[in-house]
Chain A
Amino acid sequence: MNNCSSYILCLIHLLVLNGSSRKCWPQIYEGRRKIHFTFTDGSELAEEYDFKSDELIVRKWKRKGTLGGHGRWEMEVGEQHAPVNLDVEGLVESNVNPIFVRKDTKSHYQWRIRNLPYPIANYNVTVKQEDRQIVISTVNKKYYKKFGIPDLDRCSLPLEQAAVEVAHANNTLIISYKKPGTVLDFEKKMMMEIKKLKASKDGDVDCTPS
């Protein structure tokens, strides 16, 4: 009953009601509950929940490009573990750079930026309500990042500066955003909905998530 938005909940109902998209039943694998959706426009959504704690570990999207073809997985929550081939990519961010990962807890949306050794006084985290984005800037001009909270966008809830907390420890900058009450309710319902879906046995699925 961690992070799930009303959007996903609506989506589930939509799927069950009119079956406009193909969907795989949850698959339980390596202690994770995996769900995979394919929408009518060809884009895909995959989610992974911890089986015991029901925490959202991974949520990723794969959208079709303008010219067609398969896009690549874009991580909304969780870390990309797929190996990168430097010669195929051409250029890859070096791993000494700050690494930005979203990793939620039950009550907060949370972003962790690793490899940021500077003390906490160096960071400014501000909410830009007009752009619906949170901006991290640094006094020493080494790091800058703009990001939104897709969950809140989908529910069209406002972003509030008061909900943001910043901490820094072990070379990691941690930004937390307190989930609004409505979202928490939705997520609870959503998780129940997911648990109701019949889980298939290991490997016994008609499509391969991720």
Chain B
Amino acid sequence: MAAATAEKVQEIREVTRIERIGAHSHIRGLGLDDALEARQVSQGMVGQVKARKAAGVIMEIIKEGKIAGRGILIAGQPGTGKTAIAMGMAQALGTDTPFTSIAGSEIFSLEMSKTEALTQAFRKSIGVRIKEETEIIEGEIVEVQIDRPATGTGAKVGKLTLKTTEMETIYQLGQKMIESLTKEKAQAGDIVTIDKATGKITKLGRSFTRARDYDAMGAQTKFVQCPEGELQKRKEVVHTVTLHEIDVINSRTQGFLALFSGDTGEIKSEVREQINSKVAEWREEGKAEIVPGVLFVDEVHMLDIECFSFLNRALESDMAPILIMATNRGITRIRGTQYKSPHGIPIDLLDRLVIISTQPYEEKEIKQILKIRCEEEDVEMNDDALTVLTRIGMETSLRYSIQLITAANLVCRKRKGSEVDVDDIKRVYSLFLDESRSTQFLKEYQQEFMFNEMTQEEMETS
């Protein structure tokens, strides 16, 4: 009995791990109409009409794919939807356009130099559409069997039986494949294709033989014939790979394995040059086409002067992607220098950028965003509570009030309520301090904290 409960808990944990709600998971696109006019509330986006329209224009540039190396800076106060706009662009571009998102501080690592990290980010954002012959496995699932070890921890063991109209084969599954099978919710009766090289699983539909009237199915369930012939086939597929992936494949033996582990290290410049000329050759022969993508650098003020001068140069290359940066800083010190500059970015780079600015949200916009977040997190909230939360959002910050949604929902659930009401909000508001109240508190009790024995100069926060 206890074992059964434990089993259940584990199962739930797994499901939640797959479908987690992130800070921007309610964003589905930019929310523009065909004339690029921003709808007030659409695709998870609220307000910021001008900024979104501007982003829409940039999108058109990207989709056309002709202009290389443009820089766009999204500037605005914290919590005004800069990252949301970038995410919206990523969503609207679809999966076939490479979209790389990094934070400015990500490039400072001991494993590789700053410029190498930036170059890799650049090359991850350029796609190459090419026809390639790959080995795929296509068949109907007869049985999926995944065994957890008796101790509850350790590697899982999996077996997958696939069949076509002519044959049947049993496969042993590795960890990655077990994970993607559970993620795809593949079950007996599904027709799937598995790309052998990448391990990507695609569900084609349900088998006709499983179409029984008492099965509960969604409206989108498609029925397909069981494939014929051999399970393993060679097929020509057109897909987009990034320049970085080609670099890695060519940089060492068994190279593509490095892509899985993420440990790619530095790539020699000769390899890159070789790839560039190869790609140019493919383009001339009409074998491949370039898909310029987007590199999004969040918190761009964290880059230092060396990176900025590298960017100046890199943006001039005709293989450069569209570079989108976001910052919440005003006039501040450029990292690595004593000079001050708008947004912490040198003037010569700023000159090459077009700047989109975001404005603080208005009250009704905040209310709308909170409403969307409630839906995203599956939280029922009554109107009064929402009004109170909106007030909190106006006085403190949007992020803080979004955090309170989750907390208030938990409090409500503990008192076995069905809807979050004003009391729940009040409760969590008193439980969790926001930034300004915390600062207030610190100012009052500063003397009682550690290391205040000596008077010290005011600390500089940047």
B278 proximity list for chain A (CB < 8 A): 68
**In-complex Cβ contact of B168 among A86, A89, A142 (8 A):** A142
CB within 8 Å for A67 and B167 given contacts A87-B174, A90-B199, A91-B194: no
Which A-chain residue is minimally distant from B229 (CB atoms)?
A144
Find out whether the CB atom of B257 lies under 8 angstroms from the CB atom of A92.
no
Find out whether the CB atom of A146 lies under 8 angstroms from the CB atom of B130.
no
Of the candidate stretches B70-78, B82-90, B247-255, the one touching chain A is B247-255
CB within 8 Å for A68 and B172 given contacts A144-B167, A144-B230: no
A96 within 8 A of B: yes
Interface string of A82-101 (1 = CB under 8 A from B): 00001111111110110000
Interface string of B149-171 (1 = CB under 8 A from A): 00000000001100111111111
A154 within 8 A of B: no
Find out whether the CB atom of B174 lies under 8 angstroms from the CB atom of A66.
no
A137 within 8 A of B: yes
Find out whether the CB atom of B255 lies under 8 angstroms from the CB atom of A141.
no
A97 proximity list for chain B (CB < 8 A): 169-170
B359 to chain A, nearest CB (A): 45
Query: What CA separation (Å) do A70 and B169 show in the bound complex?
Result: 28
**In-complex Cβ contact of A94 among B133, B159, B163, B275 (8 A):** B159
Find out whether the CB atom of A91 lies under 8 angstroms from the CB atom of B160.
yes
B134 to chain A, nearest CB (A): 9
Find out whether the CB atom of B174 lies under 8 angstroms from the CB atom of A96.
no
Find out whether the CB atom of A141 lies under 8 angstroms from the CB atom of B199.
no
B257 proximity list for chain A (CB < 8 A): 88
Find out whether the CB atom of B171 lies under 8 angstroms from the CB atom of A67.
no
B99 proximity list for chain A (CB < 8 A): none
Interface size on B, residues (CB 8 A): 40
A13 within 8 A of B: no
A65 within 8 A of B: yes
B256 within 8 A of A: yes
CB within 8 Å for A141 and B167 given contacts A69-B255, A90-B199, A91-B199: yes
A29 within 8 A of B: no
A147 to chain B, nearest CB (A): 10
**In-complex Cβ contact of A69 among B131, B172, B174, B256 (8 A):** B256
Which B-chain residue is minimally distant from A141 (CB atoms)?
B166
Interface string of A137-155 (1 = CB under 8 A from B): 1100111111000000000
B230 proximity list for chain A (CB < 8 A): 144-146
A89 proximity list for chain B (CB < 8 A): 174
B177 within 8 A of A: yes
A99 to chain B, nearest CB (A): 11
Query: What CA separation (Å) do A52 and B127 show in the bound complex?
Result: 53
B133 proximity list for chain A (CB < 8 A): 66
A88 proximity list for chain B (CB < 8 A): 174, 257, 260
CB within 8 Å for A93 and B176 given contacts A70-B254, A141-B165, A145-B230: no
Find out whether the CB atom of A67 lies under 8 angstroms from the CB atom of B174.
no
B229 proximity list for chain A (CB < 8 A): 144, 146
Interface string of B230-254 (1 = CB under 8 A from A): 1000000000010001100110011
Find out whether the CB atom of B255 lies under 8 angstroms from the CB atom of A91.
no
B141 to chain A, nearest CB (A): 13
Find out whether the CB atom of A91 lies under 8 angstroms from the CB atom of B177.
yes
Which B-chain residue is minimally distant from A98 (CB atoms)?
B169
Q: List 21 A-B contacts (CB under 8 A).
A: A65-B249, A68-B246, A68-B275, A70-B253, A70-B255, A90-B173, A90-B196, A91-B173, A91-B199, A92-B172, A92-B174, A93-B169, A94-B172, A96-B170, A97-B169, A137-B166, A138-B167, A141-B166, A144-B166, A144-B229, A144-B230
Interface residues of B (CB under 8 A from A): 130-133, 137, 159-160, 163-177, 194, 196, 199, 229-230, 241, 245-246, 249-250, 253-257, 260, 275, 278
Q: Which 3 A-B pairs have the closest CB atoms?
A: A144-B166, A69-B249, A144-B167
Interface residues of A (CB under 8 A from B): 65-70, 86-94, 96-97, 137-138, 141-146
